[in-house]
């Protein structure tokens, strides 16, 4: 039996030979495999502290994407959807860069993007021994670990302009410190019109074949010493230690590819009950709640440019995860992930007999089964209650509420908090529409009332539902007609009353009452029910992960993604999503012409691009058959956060920009399957064609290709 189990997992590992998100500082262990697959460089070319290397050209873009430096003048390439929020903020009805695109005519014409920042990794240090030394595994070491991490980061950054963070890997079995450098003077260089950057819209999102020009360009500026500095007209383009050369040679099926970036979160080692909770309960709940918000927003945006600008970014952010959750659940079912997890857990328990690891999978599955009702209450709080914009806005007022409730709080402290909140009121309500939010309010609250275990709902909430005879629309009208937190004028009036000494004004507001009731219930549930179980799960997962490593039942063991720098590698490859269907790995402009619908919100394209494509003169960017390449597939293991990641060939040259995964493979966050999991990238030749021929920014082409 042991031989059969071993053979089964050996064969499985061979089928999954391109699975993995690897720490670049440890990539030497993968070097031989990468070179066997076609990689022509070394691990030192990818990561080096003493010499410029690929890691010096990869950056965290904004709050959760990746970008790459592609010139010696600090030019950054990322996705259109990664820059979407900043492009939206820089746009106006008169200068609608989101709708119409923008291309700077030179560096002086580049537009500062306040609030946008990028972060580079300076080095990665293994600090496991310093964090874990002499820890008692039978007690809660959280505070000790936090103190040690704080000491390590202070020692690493004192007297420097760098930042540092320590992250846990393998569920606390390893710790690495990341020394970082952050730049805040970032300027918009160019973006295609939204109809190119989002071509296909939500219909095509997560779907292959794709024809989306999902890219934008930015530039990093630094002071005279090439160091980070706030915006100043005197700042100069950043001079990077390394930038990616661009290749126009294109791709062929079977070519080696590598993705370098900051994947957000994966959970590849969860027990079967955990992925069952996610696939069959949590994902469907969250999808249903987001469906309400998305459809309501779309109704109000349709044909209204002002509301479209206000809600475009919000809708896009909601829709991305909404569709991903659906694909993830379908993929887990289609891939029979539950049976595969059970099979591995059975093999693990056979190996673990008479050891300290025995029974760990049963304990984990039991703990996760205890979370079912609490998970639903959590999802409905975060996606339901906080899905109401006014209630989510009220979250910002919890510190003020605490000050008002504390008899020891000074008037100065209260006034200071009031002034802090007042400063952001007008900006917030510039992108808020009362009728839309009022329509969402009853739809979400009624679902919460009907679907969540009544014992986990706030008593106040159920009393209010009875008060309004469970007519949530009537309740909505009463709330939005009386709350101060649904308009700029009302919020200023509320804050002014508090400034004048009215300590009851906030707690009397019906929107804040709703927020506070759910927030208090949620925090109580967390403290009394969720956190104790989660702490036990964390301890058991640490033991389970240690056992997985020791057992060698998996020969490809990599840490889950946690928004730290990783390398994934694979090959250009099509796939079979279902019986009788095979997708080739390259799309071209022909697909754009086939999908094109004049005036359609998702499938329209600018007339100028239509003319270029119909003319068919693509010059140096054309395929041998004369078509213009648009996007391609590869088997790199990616997830959220890899958006904007550089896709590199065997020589380390940039061939594309990662922007998505195929819908059938979105379950890769929980269960990677080589036969289905593919990442989708914009072909760099399409990017440069748009820049040169539609954007007329030949100066950028010269900068990139020189």
Residue 643 appears among annotated catalytic residues: yes
- Catalytic-labelled residue, pool 16, 80, 81, 589: 81
Identify the residue whose tokens are 């190996």: 351
Q: Which of 92-96, 137-141, 519-523, 662-666 has the highest mean pLDDT?
A: 519-523
In whole angstroms, how far apart are CA 155 and each of 149, 152, 364, 639?
10, 5, 37, 33
Describe the strand order of the beta sheet including 646-648 as a list of residue ranges: 566-571, 256-261, 646-648, 654-661, 679-683, 629-634, 586-588
Per-position DSSP letters for 645-703, written without gaps between them? -EEE-TTS-EEEEEEEE-GGGGGGGTS--TTT--EEEEEHHHHHHIIIIIS--HHHHHH
Answer whether residue 492 shows pLDDT above 60.
yes
Residue 81 appears among annotated catalytic residues: yes
- The one-character DSSP state at 388 is S
- 634-654 burial code (b ≥16 CB/10 A, e <16): bbbbbbbbbbbbbbbbbebeb
Answer whether residue 11 shows pLDDT above 90.
no
- Please name the residues in contact with 54: beta carbons below 8 A apart, sequence gap of 6 or more: 24, 45, 46, 47, 242, 244, 260, 648, 652
- Catalytic-labelled residue, pool 71, 168, 195, 643: 643
Of 32-36, 109-113, 467-471, 597-601, the poorest mean pLDDT is in 597-601
Do the Cβ atoms of 210 and 204 come closer than 8 Å? yes
- Please name the residues in contact with 158: beta carbons below 8 A apart, sequence gap of 6 or more: none
- The one-character DSSP state at 154 is H
Answer whether residue 393 shows pLDDT above 90.
yes
Residue 92 appears among annotated catalytic residues: no
Mean of pLDDT values over 217-228: 98
Q: What is the mean pLDDT of the chain?
A: 94
The domain spans of the chain are 44-250, 272-549
Query: Which pLDDT value is given to residue 139?
Result: 72
Mean of pLDDT values over 692-705: 98
pLDDT > 90 in the chain, percent:
91
Separation CA 567–CA 569 (nearest Å): 7
As to burial, measured by CB atoms within 10 angstroms (0-12 exposed, 13-18 middle, 19+ buried), residue 354 is: exposed
Separation CA 678–CA 645 (nearest Å): 14
pLDDT digits (tens, 9 = 90+) for 173-215: 999 999 999 999 999 999 999 999 999 998 999 999 999 999 9
- Catalytic-labelled residue, pool 214, 379, 437, 660: 214
Separation CA 143–CA 149 (nearest Å): 10
Q: Tokens at residue 617, please?
A: 């003169």
Q: At what angle do helices 434-451 and 472-482 cross, to 10 degrees?
A: 140
Query: Which pLDDT value is given to residue 17?
Result: 55
Of 91-95, 233-237, 594-598, the poorest mean pLDDT is in 91-95
Answer whether residue 448 shows pLDDT above 70.
yes
């Amino acid at each position: 039996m042991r031989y059969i189990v071993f053979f089964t997992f050996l064969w499985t590992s061979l089928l999954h030979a391109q699975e993995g998100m690897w720490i670049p500082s440890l990539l030497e262990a993968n070097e031989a495999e990468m070179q066997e697959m076609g990689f022509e460089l070394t691990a030192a070319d990818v990561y080096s502290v003493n010499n410029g290397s690929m890691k010096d050209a990869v950056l965290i873009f904004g709050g959760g994407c990746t970008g790459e430096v592609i010139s010696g003048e600090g030019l950054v390439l990322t996705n259109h959807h990664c820059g979407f929020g900043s492009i939206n903020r820089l746009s106006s009805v008169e200068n609608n860069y989101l709708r119409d695109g923008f291309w700077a005519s030179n560096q002086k014409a580049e537009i500062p993007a306040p609030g946008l920042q990028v972060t580079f990794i300076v080095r990665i240090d293994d600090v496991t021994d310093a964090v874990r030394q002499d820890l008692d595994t039978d007690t809660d070491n959280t505070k000790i670990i936090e103190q040690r991490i704080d000491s390590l980061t202070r020692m690493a950054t004192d007297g420097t302009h760098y930042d540092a963070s320590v992250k846990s890997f393998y569920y606390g079995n390893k710790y690495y410190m990341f020394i970082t450098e952050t730049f805040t003077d970032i300027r918009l260089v160019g973006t295609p019109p939204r109809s190119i950057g989002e071509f296909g819209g939500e219909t095509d999102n997560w779907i292959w074949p794709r024809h989306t020009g999902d890219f934008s360009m930015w530039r990093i500026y630094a002071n005279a010493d090439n160091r980070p500095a706030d915006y100043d007209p005197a700042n100069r383009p950043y001079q990077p230690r390394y930038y990616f050369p661009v290749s126009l040679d294109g791709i062929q099926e079977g070519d080696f590819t590598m993705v370098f970036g900051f994947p957000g979160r994966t959970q590849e080692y969860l027990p079967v009950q955990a992925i069952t909770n996610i696939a069959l309960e949590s994902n469907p709940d969250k999808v249903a709640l987001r469906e309400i918000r998305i459809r309501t927003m779309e109704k109000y945006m349709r044909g209204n440019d002002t509301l479209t600008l206000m809600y475009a970014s919000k809708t896009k952010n909601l829709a991305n995860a909404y569709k991903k959750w659906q694909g993830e659940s379908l993929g887990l079912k289609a891939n029979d992930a539950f049976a595969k997890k059970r099979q591995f857990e059975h093999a693990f328990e056979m190996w673990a007999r008479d050891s300290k690891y025995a029974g760990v999978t049963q304990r984990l599955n039991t703990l996760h089964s205890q979370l079912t009702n609490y998970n639903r209450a959590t999802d409905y709080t975060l996606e339901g209650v906080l899905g109401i914009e006014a209630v989510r806005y009220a979250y910002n007022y919890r510190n003020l509420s605490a000050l008002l409730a504390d008899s020891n709080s000074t008037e100065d402290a209260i006034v200071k908090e009031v002034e802090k909140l007042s400063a952001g009121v007008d900006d917030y309500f510039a992108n808020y529409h009362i009728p839309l939010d009022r329509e969402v309010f009853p739809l979400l609250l009624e679902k919460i009332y009907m679907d969540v275990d009544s014992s986990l709902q706030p008593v106040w909430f159920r009393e209010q539902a009875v008060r309004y005879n469970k007519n949530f629309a009537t309740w909505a009208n009463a709330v939005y007609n009386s709350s101060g937190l649904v308009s700029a004028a009302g919020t200023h009036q509320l804050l002014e009353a508090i400034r004048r000494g009215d300590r009851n004004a906030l707690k009397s507001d019906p929107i804040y009452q709703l927020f506070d009731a759910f927030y208090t219930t949620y925090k109580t549930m967390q403290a009394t029910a969720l956190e104790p179980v989660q702490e036990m799960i964390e301890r058991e997962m640490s033991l389970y992960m240690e056992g997985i490593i020791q057992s060698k039942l998996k020969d490809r063991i990599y840490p889950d993604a946690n928004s730290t720098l990783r390398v994934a590698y694979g090959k250009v490859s099509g796939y079979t999503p279902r019986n009788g269907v095979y997708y080739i790995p390259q799309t071209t402009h022909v697909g754009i012409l086939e999908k094109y619908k004049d005036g359609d919100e998702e499938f329209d394209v600018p007339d100028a691009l239509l003319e270029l494509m119909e003319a068919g003169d693509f010059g140096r960017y054309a395929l041998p058959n004369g078509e213009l390449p648009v996007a391609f597939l590869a088997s790199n293991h990616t997830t959220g956060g890899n958006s904007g990641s550089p896709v590199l060939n065997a020589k380390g040259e940039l061939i594309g920009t990662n922007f998505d995964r195929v819908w059938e493979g979105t379950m890769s966050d929980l269960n990677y399957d080589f036969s289905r999991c593919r990442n989708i990238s914009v072909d760099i030749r399409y990017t440069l064609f748009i820049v040169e021929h539609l954007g007329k920014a030949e100066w950028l082409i010269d900068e990139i290709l020189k």
